[in-house]
Amino acid sequence: MFEWLEDELKKIKTPKFHLIDGVLSEERQKLVMQSKLSVPLSYKKFVIEYGNVKLYRQGNLYLVRIYSVPRDFKDSNGIDYLNFGRTDLSFAYFKIDDLFINSEKSVYEWYAKRNTIIKTSDGFEEWIHKKSIAAKKRYKKSVWKQIIAGPKPFTEKENQIVNARKLFKWRIVGEAGNGNIIFEVHNCSLLVLPYLTIGIRGKNNDFNGAVWLSVSHIKPGEKALIEKDCYKNRFKLDEIEIYTKPDPGPEDRSVYWEFL
């Protein structure tokens, strides 16, 4: 049913380009198959085989996502849906009323530009295949070849950068009057880095982003205060979690500004 995805997973050598939880445990498989929700069989089979899925990485984003547990949603007209996934431009739903029909269930999507939910596919299998094809088209042929081949290993200099960023310490010391966050950054390494990449994620949604603190003026052993806009126009400080991002791999060069 999803042979095209299996084939792609085998071919691509770039880590984290597709993130797959993997086959559900036997206990969770039973829960999915025995669920009272009459979601499409193709969706159930996909979830059992892959769990939560993020496909087609582009920077900090994934262009296609599937949730192993759908989320309740009610639109402005009071119509009930299940949000089972999303793209970078839309949220994807099954309509609750459709779930009582003994057939493959239609897929509906909400797009910000239209600000309305519309039917876009006749079923889950069609939807994910169509969205995956559309996502692949957003990569140039030369870029896709690089994704298939995998990234080049870190150079000696890049490994030094990875080791140095581990030794940068930071903490939040306050919030400026303009809503920016004030960080205290301590360079405990032996290098001067241009930037320090800090992770930002939503506490109550699936937002996942980053900010880049300019630290080129902080010499080894020194501290400095840095003021940074951390999505202040979208979230309040208590709605986000600011965290230390994990060590980058070669596939992360484009999203860690330490390598600029």
Reading the chain (260 residues) residue by residue, the pLDDT tens digits are 899 999 999 999 999 999 999 988 887 777 777 776 678 889 989 998 999 999 999 998 999 999 988 999 999 889 999 999 999 999 999 998 887 766 668 999 999 877 889 999 999 999 999 999 999 999 999 999 999 999 999 999 999 999 999 999 999 999 999 999 999 999 999 999 999 999 999 998 778 899 999 999 999 999 999 999 999 999 998 999 999 999 999 999 999 999 99
All domains in the chain, ordered by first residue = 3-149 (3.40.1580.10), 156-259 (no CATH)
Q: For residues 70 and 39, is the Cβ–Cβ distance under 8 A?
A: yes
Q: Is the pTM of this model over 0.85?
A: yes
